[in-house]
Amino acid sequence: MSLLSIVSPAVMQRATRILSRDQAIFLLVTVNALMLGLETYLAHLISQTIRTNEWIPIVLGPVTGVVLLLAFGLRKRYRMVSATLAVVALSTNIVVGMLGTYFHLQRAILPAAPFGQATSLARLVWSPPVIAPLAFVLVGLFGLVAYMEEKPQDSGCLWLSRGVCVRLPLSKTRIYFLLTCLGVLLAAVSSVMDHVRTDFSNGWLWVPTLLGVFGTVVTLLLGLINRPTHSDLITYTVTMVMLLLVGPLGVFLHVMSDLNAQHVVVVEQFIRGAPVLAPLVFSNMALFGLLVLLPSADA
C-alpha cells in the first residue's frame, strides 16, 4: 500500500496517473543537478576569481542534468546504456562532493599551527562552507536509489539491470526517509553556520534552525519505523509542508537584507550578502520528502 493512500487516498489516485515515486524523485534529482551548477557558480563568485578546479562542480551540474535526462529517456528501450549513463553521472557527483568537502575543510585548517590550534569554530564558520559540497553527494545517492527498481516491493533488493542487484538492510521507502533526514540535517547545519555570523541577532533566524532540527528528528523516526501509523505520516506531512514554506520566507528575508537603505538592487551586495537561493534548500528537501509518499511503480 502506498503511504500517500494512508494520508490522502484522493491525492494518491491522481498521483498514480502522472508519475511513479521513483520517476518523480529521479526528475527532481535532475533539476537539482542543474541548479547545483548555478548555486556553485554564485558561491564561488564571492572570491571574484574562480580557480580552475572550482569550475569542475560548476560544469558538472548542467552536464549531470543533461546526462540524467538522456538516461531517463532511454531507460525502457536501452536499459544498459541508460544504467551506465546514470551510474557514471551520479557516482561522479558523489566523488566530486566528497573531494569538495575535503578541499573546503582544508581551507579551514592551519597545518603549521600548534597542536590543538589547527582549526577553530570561528575558522569553520568563516571559511568556505564545509558541508556545502555534500549536496552533490546527496544528489548522487538520491539518484542512484531512485533509478534502481525494488523487486519485490519493500524487500530492499534494488535492481540496476538484469542480474545486477544491490541488497540493502532497509526497504527503499525507509532509505528515502533517511536520505531526506540527511538532507534536512545538512540544510539546518548550513543555516546555523551562516546565521551564527550575525550572532542570531534577528529572531527570524531561529525559525529555520528549530524547524530544521524538528524536521531532522521526524524524518529520522520515519526511517527507523517499519510500519508508520496514520498519525506518524500526518505529522511527517505537516512537517514537510512547513519546511516547504520556510524556503520562500527565507528568500524574502534575504532579499530584504540585501537591499540597500533606498531599497535599490545592488548586484554586488546580492553576491556577497545573504545568499538569496540558500533558504530554498529547505523547500527542496521538503519536495523530496513529500515525493516519498507517492506510490511506487509496483504499488
pLDDT 10s digits, 227-260:
899 999 999 999 999 999 998 888 787 777 766 5
Render pLDDT for 79-107 as a digit per residue (tens, 0 to 9): 889 999 999 999 999 999 999 998 888 87
| Winning range, highest mean pLDDT, from 125-134, 141-150, 271-280 | 141-150
Residue pair 277/43 in contact by the 8 Å Cβ criterion: no
Report the alpha-carbon distance of residue 223 to residue 172 in Å, rounded: 10
Give strand pairing partners of 159: 149, 165
Lowest mean pLDDT among 136-145, 241-250, 256-265, 287-296: 256-265
Q: What is the pLDDT of residue 292?
A: 94
CA dist list (Å): 43 to 69, 131, 135: 25, 13, 13
Q: What is the pLDDT of residue 299?
A: 45
Render pLDDT for 106-126 as a digit per residue (tens, 0 to 9): 877 766 666 666 666 666 666
Q: What is the pLDDT of residue 109?
A: 78
Residue 189 has pLDDT above 60, yes or no: yes
- Mean pLDDT throughout 193-198? 77
Angle ∠(60,62,257) on CA atoms, nearest 5: 95
Lowest mean pLDDT among 69-78, 105-114, 192-201: 105-114
Q: What percent of the chain has pLDDT over 70?
A: 79
pLDDT band (50, 70, 90) for residue 159: confident
pLDDT band (50, 70, 90) for residue 153: confident
Cell of 215: 524536521
Q: Pick 255 or 153 by higher pLDDT.
A: 153
* Amino acid type, 275: P
Q: What's the whole-model pTM score?
A: 0.84
Q: What is the pLDDT of residue 84?
A: 92
pLDDT band (50, 70, 90) for residue 28: very high
Q: Pick 94 or 202 by higher pLDDT.
A: 94
CB-neighbour burial class of residue 31 (10 A; exposed 0-12, middle 13-18, buried 19+): middle
Q: Pick 7 or 56 by higher pLDDT.
A: 56
